[in-house]
Amino acid sequence: MHSRRSIDVLSAKAGICTVRRATLHNAIRAAILNSPVTVITVMASSIAQLQKKVWAGSLPLEIRLAASDCRTFDLADPYLVHVPRLSYLPFLLPRLQRFFASSLIDPSVEAHDAWFSFENVPLKWHYPVGLLYDLFSCAQPATPEDAATASSSIIGTQAFQATTEDSQGAEIPWKITAHYTEFPDEQLVRLDKEGKVLLDAYINSVKEADFIRNGTARVVMSLSRDDSTSLWRSVESHNLNLFNSVNNKLLNPPGSALRHIPMKVYLPTAPPQISDSSPGVAQQGSIRVVQGLVTVQTSSRQSQTLGMALNALLPTVFPSRRNPVLACPVLHGAVVPMSAGVEDLCRAASYTDGFLHIAVTMLG
């Protein structure tokens, strides 16, 4: 059994998680927000500081072995871990297999046979952990109301210091389930022992982001073998300095400027109505992924804001370019100001695959 102390320590870290999410919101706001109409150009030092805060984000997880895979009646002890928001669940598989080995009905299963679920919903392993949490945990994103007094300076301006109380409405740690049988082939792709499937999925996403930014994937394809290896190793080890040694080459190709911003918007959709022929069958909602070409500047050569981009992509959900009327955009667990410049967000707050993964939270 895990000691009470270990659980208390994890709970304390969960409080830090709340602080970081609210602080991140204010960091974005302080670094980028100027007015509902005008967007300021953020200094490189401010972008670097904001990127550090994004990379400092982490989540406490409580991973339990599925009852159908557990040989003991009272279930196995949960695996408690703190993971970076930018990381991926498959990185945990070797440790989980060793931890649950004595409790598995079939101890011969391989680590890569596992898959994860939350409330019976399979979790896509190629989504970053932070994105999965924002999409499924029902946590309320951090906003200025989560902050107390203006007592700390973030990115050169006064920002609010968040309180330590977890007022986000989600259960901490985030409780998910690990399965080793009954793989949902219709919803997930199986992993392999060597990790090639995970690596290929990541590299394909990086190539897609590069193509969107430049109209060609020539930049990422011209990386040396050492750079390509370093990029993946930086994601595995969560090493920001190593990541930037390669990412800066992708974001600053010689002789050309960024054309478009890689962005995916995740919109929750209501479950279909239950027909009379299916009484008592619970239906689940789904998540619609919306993409479009988001230019760095508008046709009038005005800096593109997140509000402008969302209004163009989803005008019925974001009818205003300036204010979140029906929904708000969430990035790394924090509400992003609608006046944030998309290029600055791309450079400071993209996930490691180069995309801005924006979760939509409906208001009201």
Provide the residue-wise pLDDT of the chain in tens; the chain has 364 residues.
444 333 333 333 434 344 455 555 555 554 444 333 333 345 678 899 999 999 999 999 999 999 999 998 778 899 999 999 999 999 999 999 999 999 999 999 999 999 999 999 999 999 999 999 999 998 888 875 544 332 232 222 222 222 223 335 556 899 999 999 999 999 999 999 999 999 999 999 999 999 999 999 999 999 999 999 999 999 999 999 999 999 999 999 988 889 999 999 999 887 665 554 444 434 566 899 999 999 999 888 889 999 999 999 999 999 999 999 999 999 999 999 999 999 999 999 999 999 999 999 999 7
Do β-strands 152-154 and 121-122 pair in parallel, antiparallel, or remain unpaired? unpaired
CA dihedral sign, ordered 268, 270, 271, 272: negative
Q: What is the pTM of this model?
A: 0.82
The answer to whether residue 327 is domain-embedded is no
Expressed as residue numbers, the domain containing 97 is 4-179
Q: For residue 244, what pLDDT is reported?
A: 97
The answer to whether residue 326 is domain-embedded is no
The answer to whether residue 167 is domain-embedded is yes
pLDDT digits (tens, 9 = 90+) for 157-180: 222 222 223 335 556 899 999 999
Q: How far apart are CA 322 and CA 320, in angstroms?
A: 5
104 close to 65: Cβ distance less than 8 angstroms: yes
Rg (C-alpha) for the chain, rounded Å, is 21
The answer to whether residue 344 is domain-embedded is no
128, 185, 234 from 337: Cα distances, Å? 22, 38, 29
Q: What is the DSSP letter of 216?
A: S
Q: For residue 299, what pLDDT is reported?
A: 87
The answer to whether residue 330 is domain-embedded is no
The answer to whether residue 104 is domain-embedded is yes
Q: For residue 73, what pLDDT is reported?
A: 76
Count of domains in the chain?
1
**Residue found by looking up tokens 């500081």 in the block:** 49
Do β-strands 260-261 and 294-295 pair in parallel, antiparallel, or remain unpaired? antiparallel
Do β-strands 327-331 and 356-362 pair in parallel, antiparallel, or remain unpaired? antiparallel
The answer to whether residue 282 is domain-embedded is no
The answer to whether residue 302 is domain-embedded is no
Q: For residue 284, what pLDDT is reported?
A: 60
CATH of the domain at 163: 3.10.20.620
63 close to 96: Cβ distance less than 8 angstroms: yes
pLDDT digits (tens, 9 = 90+) for 7-54: 333 333 434 344 455 555 555 554 444 333 333 345 678 899 999 999
Q: Two tokens at 250?
A: 């992708």
